[in-house]
Amino acid sequence: MFLEDYRKARQMGQKEAKVCQSRGGSPSLPVLDEILSEEETCGEVDLGLVDIPMELIVGTRSAGRSQAFSRSFYPLMAEDSEFAHKWVTLCKAHMEEGITDPIKVYEYMHTFYVAEGHKRVSVLRYFGAVNIPAEVTRILPARDGSKASQIYYEYVDFYKLSGVNYLWFSAVGRFARLQAALGKAPDEVWSDDDRRKFFSFYARFSALYGDKSAQDLAGRMTTGDAILLFLDIYGYDQVKNYTQTELKNGFLQLHQAFSVKKGSNPLKELNPLKGLLGR
């Protein structure tokens, strides 16, 4: 039974590897050590035990495990290998007891690289897990004045207040704008209830934003960008209590307005969009 799961997961990995190669990319996991060899950093921060989004786990700390997995952590090793046997054993444990031991990762520029627990990530990715517990060490990039650096350090400041690690923006200043949009002072720390309520809203909004009908919008903005625009128009106090139907209707209005203004940057043209939405 569990060997069949390994076969399916391996087929998914082989398919993904072939697609990467056909596009001229590497079929293997990115290696953080190799990335850091060409980058300047300025220290590390221990973040402790944190639930991290599976979608942000993109590579491995060292090269030793990079060939064993596809880019999405699906296994690539032969069925009769020791690796496959351990994967199957872990798969069985997950189905019978659940995987609870945290992995160990390094976070760099808002993505995560696994140091320990590659097979745990692989099994949970195969079963569609959204988050995984991890001991996280943050590697700080140099403050070089670039847009990427500025956005990242705004995220670091926002994370200290909110504990939110799943959100990202495509431009400078938007983490602070979100803090204000939620009715919080610039240095106000979020409560556990704040985090739960916002994650509930984020998860429901993301489900809509990932729909094919949002393709035009998604091609231009991150989910965070779209949420900020949505909150600027409707207000968090109103939308946090929306039913899913109400949220969908508001999102469809946003999408329709964006379609009318196609070719524009909706986050820079907020007032025209408000007019299109009748507010």
CATH number at residue 22: 3.90.1530.10
Burial zone of 122 (CB within 10 Å; 0-12 exposed, 13-18 middle, 19+ buried) = buried
Listing DSSP states for 206-252 in one string gives: HHHHTSGGGHHHHTTS-HHHHHHHHHHHH-HHHHTT--HHHHHHHHH
- The secondary structure of residue 158, as a DSSP letter, is H
Within this chain, do residues 188 and 57 fall inside the same structural domain, yes or no? no
Q: How far apart are CA 20 and CA 180, in angstroms?
A: 41
Q: Residue-wise over 67-93: b if at least 16 C-beta within 10 A, else e? A: ebbbbbbbbbbeeeeebbeebbebbeb
Q: Which domain holds residue 204?
A: 144-279
- Domain end (from 114, 142, 170): 142
Give residue 164's pLDDT: 97
How many domains would you assign to the chain? Answer: 2
Count of beta carbons in the 10 Å neighbourhood of residue 264: 13
Q: How far apart are CA 261 and CA 276, in angstroms?
A: 9
Query: What is the per-residue pLDDT across 34-87, written as a single tens digit (0 to 9) for each?
Result: 999 999 999 999 999 999 999 999 999 999 888 999 999 999 999 999 999 999
Residue 219's pLDDT band, with cuts at 50, 70 and 90, is low
Q: How far apart are CA 135 and CA 116, in angstroms?
A: 10
User: Of 2-11, 186-195, 254-263, which range is least confident?
Assistant: 254-263
Instruction: Kindly state the average pLDDT of the residues 8-28.
Output: 93
Within this chain, do residues 211 and 125 fall inside the same structural domain, yes or no? no
